[in-house]
Amino acid sequence: MKLWKALAASAAMALAGAAAQAENGVTEDEVKIGGAHDLSGIFAPFSVPAVKAAQLYFDEVNAAGGVHGRKITYIVEDHGYQVPKAVQAANKLVNRDQVFAMLLNLGTPHNLAMFKLMGPKGIPNISPLTTARQMIDPPEPWKFSANASYYDGVRLTSEYMAAEHGSSTFCLMYLPTDFGIEIKEGLKAGADASGGTFAVETKHKPDETDFSGALGKLKDGGCDTVGLALGVSQIINAIATANKLGMSDMKFVLSSAGFHTVVAKGLAAQGVMSGVYAGAGWQDLEARLGEPAVGAWVKAYTEATGEKFPGSGALLGRSAAELLVRGLEAAGPDLSHETFIAGMEGLNYDDEIAGYTVSMDPGNHVSGTAVFVSAVENGSWKLLQTLE
**What's the pLDDT tens digit per position in 136-146?**
999 999 999 99
pLDDT computed for residue 5 by the predictor: 38
Phi first, then psi: give them for residue 173, nearest 5 degrees: -120, 120
**What's the pLDDT tens digit per position in 33-57?**
999 999 999 999 999 999 999 999 9
| Confidence band of 239 (pLDDT split at 50, 70, 90) | very high
Mean pLDDT estimate for the chain: 94
pLDDT at 16 over 60: no
pLDDT at 135 over 60: yes
Q: Please report how the helices 150-165 and 178-193 are oriented relative to each other, as an axis angle in degrees rounded to 10.
A: 40
Cβ–Cβ contacts within 10 Å for residue 5, how many? 9
pLDDT at 8 over 60: no
pLDDT at 197 over 50: yes
The percentage of the chain sitting over the pLDDT mark of 70, rounded to a whole number, equals 94
pLDDT computed for residue 12 by the predictor: 40
Collapsing DSSP to helix, strand or coil, 174 comes out as strand
**What's the pLDDT tens digit per position in 348-365?**
999 999 999 999 999 999
- On the 0-12 / 13-18 / 19+ scale of CB atoms within 10 A, 265 is middle
Among 101, 52, 46, 56, smallest CA distance to 79 is for 46
Mean pLDDT calculated for residue range 171-176: 98
pLDDT at 384 over 80: yes
pLDDT at 17 over 50: no
| Confidence band of 388 (pLDDT split at 50, 70, 90) | confident
pLDDT computed for residue 13 by the predictor: 42
**What's the pLDDT tens digit per position in 59-97?**
999 999 999 999 999 999 999 999 999 999 999 999 999
**What's the pLDDT tens digit per position in 280-331?**
999 999 989 999 999 999 999 999 999 999 989 999 999 999 999 999 999 9
pLDDT computed for residue 22 by the predictor: 58
The percentage of the chain sitting over the pLDDT mark of 90, rounded to a whole number, equals 93
**What's the pLDDT tens digit per position in 243-274?**
999 999 999 999 999 999 999 999 999 999 99
* Residues 233/210, Cβ–Cβ less than 8 Å: no
pLDDT computed for residue 259 by the predictor: 96
pLDDT computed for residue 215 by the predictor: 98
pLDDT computed for residue 191 by the predictor: 98
Lowest mean pLDDT among 20-24, 299-303, 364-368, 369-373: 20-24
pLDDT computed for residue 377 by the predictor: 96
Phi first, then psi: give them for residue 221, nearest 5 degrees: -85, 0
Checking phi first, is residue 375 left (phi over 0); if not, alpha (psi -120 to 50) or beta? beta
| Confidence band of 23 (pLDDT split at 50, 70, 90) | confident
Give CA torsion, residues 256, 257, 261, 264, to 10 deg. -90
